[in-house]
Amino acid sequence: MATLADVARRAGVALSTVSAVLNNRPDCFVSEETRRRILKAAEELGYRPNYLARSLARGKTETLGLVIYEVINPYFARIADEVERAAREAGYQLLLCTNRDDPEFSDQANLELLYHRRVDGMLVWASRYPPDGYFVPLPDEAKAKVVVLGYHTADGTDYVSVDRAEGTYRATRHLMALGHRQFGYLAPREDLRPDHPKLAGMLRALSEAGLPEPLLIPADGHFRRDGYQAALSAQEWRPRPTALICYNDLLAIGAYRGLREQGWKVPDDIALVGFDGIEDGEFLEVPLTTVAVPIGEMSQTAVQFLINRLEGRAAERQQLTLVPQLVVRQSCGAQGS
Amino acid sequence: MATLADVARRAGVALSTVSAVLNNRPDCFVSEETRRRILKAAEELGYRPNYLARSLARGKTETLGLVIYEVINPYFARIADEVERAAREAGYQLLLCTNRDDPEFSDQANLELLYHRRVDGMLVWASRYPPDGYFVPLPDEAKAKVVVLGYHTADGTDYVSVDRAEGTYRATRHLMALGHRQFGYLAPREDLRPDHPKLAGMLRALSEAGLPEPLLIPADGHFRRDGYQAALSAQEWRPRPTALICYNDLLAIGAYRGLREQGWKVPDDIALVGFDGIEDGEFLEVPLTTVAVPIGEMSQTAVQFLINRLEGRAAERQQLTLVPQLVVRQSCGAQGS
DNA sequence: CTCAAAATATGAAGCGCTTCATATGAACCG
DNA sequence: CGGTTCATATGAAGCGCTTCATATTTTGAG
């Protein structure tokens, strides 16, 4: 592959001149004649800049790193999609890391990897819900290049978060208004903690209304199949809930099928509400009522925050918490479309 | 951030020695004493290699590029997931590009971008179905670093393809065996061409059996909503099909809902078959019969092919076509689970 | 004509690392 | 004790680019 030196040689000028011309440096006065010669030589040689060398010299890679839980979950796929689009529009490429639950690829390892690859900035979705806010596992000077997605931070790092508690609070209130008094909450086993905001939001709504605590139903994961499995034991749920809120839409979709198999009709026998607002729920046979996270806004804002910071025009703190909206469809028994 | 030179200075040795020690170069004879000093200095300074500089010097970035249609489609998400995992296991990072249908980010533009970023290798999913095999839009020397995913190639580039025609052929045969004689085929408008393998496979099966051609039903895209919209006009379909094969699972899932709204029961009034084998179909109220692409095998093989090539231990040609399997569930009316 | 200012072009240093030919002792051998 | 050999460490070149201080030529005003 042709290098700058090759082009310079061919055009009969200095390498630095070629660099100036090809980069369109504004303050460089190059005669039209020379410029043309250089452009021609570059064209003929099929010259393409070596991004590595450029990045090394400029100290900038024009690459953003995204650490995300996994990409097969439609919720995260949407995020990755939005982030990629926004990054691309701002002239950045995306380096993708998933953490899954693989201890070998912890957030720490992923972030360090990206940092050492000299990405200009990083977006990270924590792999586990951090009760007191997320601590970015990176030296301080590196934290300045990070925006946390989906969680608030405990160390002052920029973030765009989601008020999950408010989401489930609203869902619970809505169901209460429809007359429900016995609730169930289906979530991955490890997230069935009262300090998890999704559950906390429910608990608050219930206690405010003097209603009993919800029946906690554990799932083995956060996929459809896990919701399905969990719902197969519906006959044994005591006290029997008339409304079921799920940790996410996938679980709700799986549960829907399990409940049907157990002979429970949604919403007549049990009202069903999911969380996330992915397209899948809309096409459930009984369209799924859900707490919809504004994924596009969240992702785009996060990228914007990051780019502000990188370009030195960020406020000291860029922190935003978005409130998810309840999208009422038929699965909760309201008249919704 | 500390550089090699900093470490060398602190340890009181030459920079090249530090490099040798930190890279564990096998043939370098360094005294235990020196080694320890260097390791200690590196530790104290929190030294981390600069991948950019290393890549520039070594001529290798340990990065693979993936060009894929989009990541919100579960089918592609699975592929991205599998590719990322396989790449990661082989020690490569993944640089992600989506082409969507955005003319600004054509395959050409994406591949060039990756190439100039000096990724070691690229995997590409063509954005449009190439009737005669895919031509990689890159200079010959670059093609050697490309593996095409999902399509066969017209220029000898490595690929892992899928025999779509065989997939729909089998699905059609299966439906014929169940007694169906009037077929419908629902696909994005631009893919409703007899030279598209999915349709071609159906046509072959039908003509072999002397059955009439299928009713071609156009959709405006390849998402659930497009299938839903298309199915809303079911009452006007003439001749009325008793079996409907869809271009992909998402379309089938959307169509399912549209058909229900039109009062058609699946599978009693119409048998329904999708394509891809994504998890979503399994959780449709009437579980979806589908032509399942072996996504894991396809992705892993492609990464393997690429790495073989990069490491110089590839056959002249690495080309593989996988045959998708019909997964029979209830939506086609067979007894399947 | 002269000289400062403007217009053009250049060379060299530097980004942080790898690599390889070469230097320096110490240890060994007969 | 001179000459090998081995163990250990080094310096310098190079990857391809950016950047900036400096050199050279041209221009136009006085």
Give the span between the Cα atoms of A300 and A86, in whole angstroms. Answer: 6
Instruction: Tell whether A62 lies on the interface with B, counting CB pairs under 8 A.
Output: no
Q: Give percent above pLDDT 70 in chain B.
A: 99
Of A75, A250, A259, A287, give the one whose Cα is nearest residue B258.
A287
Record: contact A260-B115, CB cut-off 8 A: no
Q: In one letter, which amino acid is B118? A: R
Question: Which residues have CB atoms below 7 Å from chain C, the nucleic strand?
Answer: A 13-17, 20, 28-31, 33-34, 53, 56-57, 59; B 1, 3-5, 15-16, 19-20, 22-23, 25, 47-50, 53-54, 56-58
Tell which wins on pLDDT, A273 or B104: A273
Distance A28 CA to D10 C1' (A): 41
Q: How far is the CA of B35 from the C1' of D6 (A)?
A: 19
* Confidence grade of residue A229 (pLDDT, cut at 50, 70, 90): very high
Rounded Cα–Cα distance for residues A205 and A171 (Å): 9
User: Backbone phi, then psi, for B72, in 5-degree steps?
Assistant: -85, -15
Q: Is A301 helix (H, G, I), strand (E, B) or coil?
A: helix
pLDDT, tens digit, 9 for 90 and up, residues A91-142:
999 999 998 878 888 999 999 999 989 999 999 999 888 888 999 999 888 8
**Chain C positions with any atom < 7 A from a protein CB:** 7-12, 14-20
Angle separating helix axes B32-45 and B15-22, nearest 10 degrees: 90
Over the stretch B52-102, which tens digit does the pLDDT of each residue have? Answer: 999 999 999 999 999 999 999 999 999 999 999 999 999 999 999 998 878
Residue in chain B closest to A48 (alpha carbons) equals B116
Per-residue pLDDT tens digits for A18-52: 999 999 887 777 888 899 999 999 999 999 999 99
The confidence score (pLDDT) of residue B103 equals 82
pLDDT of residue B315: 83
C-alpha to C-alpha distances, A177 to A205, A211, A327, nearest whole angstrom: 11, 12, 15
The answer to whether residue A45 neighbours chain B at the CB level (below 8 Å) is: no
A317 touches strand D (CB under 7 A): no
For residue A141, how many C-alpha atoms fall within 13 Å in the half-sphere facing its CB? 6
Q: Distance, in angstroms, between A144 CA and closest chain B CA?
A: 14
Q: Which residue has the tokens 């070596």?
A: A50
Using CA atoms, how far residue B272 sits from A274, B168, B193, B245, in Å, is 27, 12, 20, 6
- Percentage, residues of chain A above pLDDT 70: 99
**Inter-chain touch B52–A56, beta carbons under 8 Å:** yes
| Per-residue confidence (pLDDT) for residue A114, from 0 to 100 | 93
- Identify whether the C-beta of residue A120 lies closer than 8 Å to the C-beta of residue A60: yes
Q: Which range, A138-147, B138-147, B165-174, has the best average confidence (pLDDT)?
A: B165-174
With CA of B54 and C1' of each nucleotide, the nearest comes out as C17
Residue nearest D18, CA–C1′ metric: A57
| Phi, psi (degrees; rounded to nearest 5) at A27 | -90, 15
DSSP state of A333: S
Query: What's the rounded mean pLDDT across residues B100-114?
Result: 88
Give CA–CA dist A293/A162, Å, rounded: 7
Q: Which nucleotides of D are covered by protein (CB under 7 A)?
A: 7-12, 14-20
Do the Cβ atoms of A162 and A168 come closer than 8 Å?
Answer: no
CA–C1' A59–C18 (A): 19
Chain B, nearest residue to A64 by Cα? B95
pLDDT at B128: 85
How do A158-162 and A183-188 pair as beta strands? unpaired
- CA pseudo-torsion sign A137, A140, A141, A147: positive
Contacts of A283 in chain B (CB under 8 A): 224, 228, 253-254, 256-257
- The reply to whether B254 touches chain A by the CB within 8 Å rule is yes
Would you place residue A336 in the very low, low, confident or very high pLDDT band (cuts 50, 70, 90)? Answer: low
pTM, to two decimals: 0.92
Mean pLDDT of the residues in chain A: 94
Any strand D atom closer than 7 Å to A22 CB = yes
Which two three-digit tokens encode residue B189? 């408008």
Task: Tell if B22 CB is < 7 Å from nucleic strand D.
Answer: no
Task: Write down the mean pLDDT value for chain B.
Answer: 94
Any strand D atom closer than 7 Å to B59 CB:
yes
Secondary structure of A191-259 in HEC code, one letter for each residue: HCCCCCHHHHHHHHHHHHCCCCCCEEEEECCCCHHHHHHHHCCHHHCCCCCCEEEECCHHHHHHHHHHH
Give A269's DSSP letter: T
**Paired strand residues for A326:** A291
Distance in angstroms (rounded) separating the CA atoms of residues B225 and A104: 39
Q: Compute the distance between CA of residue A133 and CA of residue A57 in angstroms, rounded to an integer.
A: 37
A165-222 pLDDT per residue, tens = 999 999 999 999 999 999 999 999 999 999 999 999 999 999 999 999 999 999 999 9
Q: Is A50 on the interface with B (CB under 8 A)?
A: yes
Please report the number of interchain residue pairs, chain A to chain B, with beta-carbon separation below 8 angstroms.
Answer: 120
**pLDDT, position B251:** 98
Confidence grade of residue B336 (pLDDT, cut at 50, 70, 90): low
Q: What are A206's two structure tokens?
A: 């219930």
- A46 touching B, CB under 8 A? yes
Picking from A166-180, A308-322, B201-215, which range would have the lowest pLDDT averaged per residue?
A: A308-322
Position A334 confidence tier, pLDDT thresholds 50, 70, 90 = confident
Distance of C1' in C17 from CA in B67, Å: 30
Which residues on neighbouring strands pair with residue B160, listed in sequence order?
Answer: B149, B320
Q: Quick check: B17 CB within 7 A of strand D?
A: yes
The stretch B222-226 carries a mean pLDDT of 96
